[in-house]
Every structure is written in structure tokens, then in C-alpha cells.
Amino acid sequence: MEKTLVIIKPDGVKRHLVGKIIQRFEEKGLVITALKMETLTLSLLEEHYNHLVTRPFFSELVDYMTSGPVVILILTGENAIEIVRKMVGTTNPLQAEIGSIRGQYGLSHTENVIHASDSTAAAQAEIQRFFK
């Protein structure tokens, strides 16, 4: 069984999409093995988005990600990472497939509702980061 990390971002929480998003994962056969709600800190986001710190949009991203609570969950299942990534869709909702979570609910490149680990290594590091 494979594990992956998902974050339902502040816009998803504010827009009351948490239940709908979680339901989609459960209907796909994925199992929630951990779940929590919290407001992220600057230090945690600097660690999580370390690869983006020098990008011009980093401060906007941090402001957005600290603007309200997020829901963080670990999903487990066969090929969980690949399945979740396909369900989530590409980062830009305008380019995401219709029917994907971002394609259906995303509003912009920044307010795209959800984060999902993109590889086994990322999933392991992100699970450790958010569920110490």
C-alpha cells in the first residue's frame, strides 16, 4: 500500500468543499489514515515550498496559504500517488482536465484548492513534515 499527502488549501476550506473533495477520494477506494485541520505557519511553509522561495510569487503564495485553516490528510491505497495526482489535475485550473478537482473547483493558479504529493520521495517527506 502506498501513502500520499493531500492538503485542502484555504480556499477549499472557505468554500466548504472539504466534504466533497474527501468523498471523491473515498469513492475511488482510497483510505484516510490521518486527518487534521490547522492554520499553517510561515516556517512550515518555507520548508514545504523551499524550492519556490526565490520565485517572485512566493510571498503571495505564503499570504494565501496562511490566510485560513487547511485540511491535511494522508491517503492510503494501491498506486495512491498516481491516482490522487490524476484526480487533482494540473496546477493551473484553466489547464486542468474537466472533472479533475482543480478543473472543477480551482479559481486561479494560486487558489487551486488542493496540494498533492507528486512522488514517493515527496510523499514521505511531506508526511513527515506535516505529521511529525
Rounded Cα distance between 1 and 114, Å, is: 22
- Strands, sheet with 2-8, edge to edge from the N-terminal-most edge strand: 31-38, 70-77, 2-8, 114-116
Helix (H) or strand (E) holding 92: none
pLDDT at position 109: 85
Averaged pLDDT, 12-36: 98
Catalytic residue numbers?
A: 115
Rounded Cα distance between 78 and 70, Å, is: 25
Per the annotation, binding residues for ATP are: 9, 57, 85, 91, 102, 112
pLDDT at position 1: 94
Per the annotation, binding residues are: 9, 57, 85, 91, 102, 112
pLDDT at position 53: 86
Q: What is the pLDDT of residues 48-58, one digit of tens each?
A: 999 888 888 88
Q: What is this structure's pTM?
A: 0.94
* List of domains in the chain: 2-130 (3.30.70.141)
